[in-house]
């Protein structure tokens, strides 16, 4: 076992199935907190629209909280905003939300030629470049995109898109086809900017669609993306909130290197379902443990995940912004001190 590995070296070795000095704590979604923003002198909405402030807030996840990675894209709206969705960027402790969905028919959509140069996208790319300059190869840099399923929620409205999957499946599939290029281009651009890993969000959890819907609509898209369309220079983690046990065996065949799972899924059963085909990360409860819990609660759940064989520990999703950094530090220190 190699001793005293650098954070990035440790993270990437786990993705490659190699021995490491210990497990790792990563933040593939968002660990933006008021504690961190106050400590580094930044605020909302600047952390979403200013690359320097976005990078400073991302760095806090590593330097103040101890994660082996940094992840600068805190919201879910950047690419949708660049594609024409109307966004309210938030203030204080409120995160960005979409106020108007611009598309009600696939024929209304045109991929912007300058997509990568639009402020909402360029800010993310510039923040990744700044983090690469700051950390080089010492800390894992994670980028984030949203795939065509979640982009359809953002551009058409969640309820409206899901109705189409039931009433007009061909139209729903057309949405997935037209939104996929933006997700692919943004992923490749983040790798080019210096990201080592990408989190790919497509929200196909049990409360939004059935496992059969995932197989019929999105699994072929995911397989095509991973096998034909996407020029990868690092691992891509698929993320979906909520209960996903009943579709994990399909997700394991999607071509993604890892899946980011919710604490509402039984860890042992999840590992059985994926059968070693795909890594799992996540599992620490946002609401019950990180936000409302104590450091002792965090230590208990993190240790349980490690005992069950999860080596990439992370919060289950973007954490509530009022989460205490003390609880995030309890997570990373538990991982650091854990003895196999």
For position 17, what pLDDT does the model report? 96
| Residue 3: CB atoms within 10 Å | 7
Edge-to-edge strand ranges of the sheet holding 236-239:
24-25, 312-315, 279-284, 258-261, 236-239, 197-201, 140-146, 69-70
pLDDT of 72 above 70: yes
Largest CA distance in the chain: 56
Nearest to 201, CA basis, from 144, 158, 281, 248 = 144
Average pLDDT over residues 252-267: 98
Average pLDDT over residues 145-171: 97
Residue 294, token pair as written in the block: 């104590």
pLDDT tier at 4, thresholds 50, 70, 90: confident
- Which tens digit of pLDDT belongs to each residue from 19-45? 999 999 999 999 999 999 999 999 999
pLDDT of 268 above 70: yes
Average pLDDT over residues 104-122: 97
pLDDT tier at 340, thresholds 50, 70, 90: confident
pLDDT tier at 3, thresholds 50, 70, 90: confident
CA distances from 246 to 78, 144, 249, 265, 291 (A): 30, 25, 8, 10, 27
For position 66, what pLDDT does the model report? 98
Residue 173, token pair as written in the block: 């599939």
Average pLDDT over residues 305-331: 98
For position 1, what pLDDT does the model report? 54
Average pLDDT over residues 153-165: 97
Residues 6+ apart with CB under 8 A from 86: 98, 99, 100, 102
Contact assessment for residue 282 and residue 315, using Cβ atoms and an 8 Å cutoff: yes
Assign residue 337 a region (left: φ > 0; alpha: ψ between -120 and 50; beta: otherwise): alpha
Contact assessment for residue 96 and residue 89, using Cβ atoms and an 8 Å cutoff: yes
**Alpha-carbon radius of gyration of the chain:** 19
Q: What percent of the chain has pLDDT over 70?
A: 99
d(CA 149, CA 286): 23
- Computed over every residue of the chain, the mean pLDDT equals 97
| Residue-range domain boundaries for the chain | 7-337
Record the pTM: 0.97
Q: What is the 3-state secondary structure (H, E, C) of the chain?
A: CCCCCCHHHHHHHHHCCCCCCCCEECCCCCCCCHHHHHHHCCCCCHHHHCHHHHHHHHHHHHHCCCCCEECCCCCCCHHHHHHCCEEECCCCCCCCEEEECCCCCHHHCCCCCCHHHCHHHHHHHHHHHHHHHHHCCCCEEEEEEECHHHHHHHHHCHHHHHHHHHHCHHHHHHHHHHHHHHHHHHHHHHHHHCCCEEEEECCCCCCCCCHHHHHHHHHHHHHHHHHHHCCCCCCEEEECCCCCHHHHHHHCCCCCCEEEECCCCCHHHHHHHHCCCCEEEEEECHHHHHHCCCHHHHHHHHHHHHHCCCCEEEECCCCCCCCCHHHHHHHHHHHHHCCC
Question: Which CATH code fits 7-337?
Answer: 3.20.20.210
């Amino acid at each position: 076992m190699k001793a005293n590995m650098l954070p990035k070296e440790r993270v990437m070795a786990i993705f490659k199935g190699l021995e490491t000095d210990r497990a790792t704590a990563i933040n593939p979604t968002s660990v933006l907190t008021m504690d961190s923003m106050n400590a580094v002198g930044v605020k909302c909405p600047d952390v979403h629209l200013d690359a320097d402030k976005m990078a400073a807030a991302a760095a806090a996840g590593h330097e103040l909280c101890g994660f082996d990675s940094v992840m600068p894209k805190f919201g879910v709206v950047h690419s949708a905003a660049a594609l024409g969705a109307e966004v309210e960027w938030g203030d204080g402790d409120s995160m960005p939300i979409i106020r108007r969905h611009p598309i009600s028919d696939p024929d209304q959509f045109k991929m912007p030629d300058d997509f990568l140069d639009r402020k909402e996208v360029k800010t993310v790319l510039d923040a990744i470049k700044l983090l690469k300059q700051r950390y080089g190869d010492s800390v894992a840099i994670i980028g984030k995109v949203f795939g065509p399923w979640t982009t359809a929620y953002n551009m058409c409205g969640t309820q409206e898109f899901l109705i189409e999957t039931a009433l007009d499946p061909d139209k729903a599939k057309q949405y997935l086809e037209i939104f996929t290029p933006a997700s692919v281009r943004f992923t490749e651009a983040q790798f080019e900017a210096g990201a080592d890993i990408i989190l790919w969000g497509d929200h196909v959890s049990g409360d939004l669609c059935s496992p059969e819907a995932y197989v019929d609509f999105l699994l072929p898209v995911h397989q095509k993306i991973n096998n034909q369309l996407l020029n990868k220079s690092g691992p891509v983690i698929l993320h979906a909130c909520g209960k996903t046990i009943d579709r994990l065996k399909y997700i394991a065949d999607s071509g993604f290197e890892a899946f980011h799972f919710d604490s509402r899924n039984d860890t042992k059963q999840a590992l059985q379902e994926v059968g070693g085909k795909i890594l799992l990360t996540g599992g620490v409860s946002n609401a019950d443990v990180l936000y409302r819990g104590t450091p002792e609660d965090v230590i208990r759940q993190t240790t349980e995940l490690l005992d069950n064989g999860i080596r990439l520990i992370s919060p289950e999703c973007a954490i509530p912004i009022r989460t205490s950094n003390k609880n995030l530090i309890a997570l990373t220190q538990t991982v650091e001190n854990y003895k196999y």
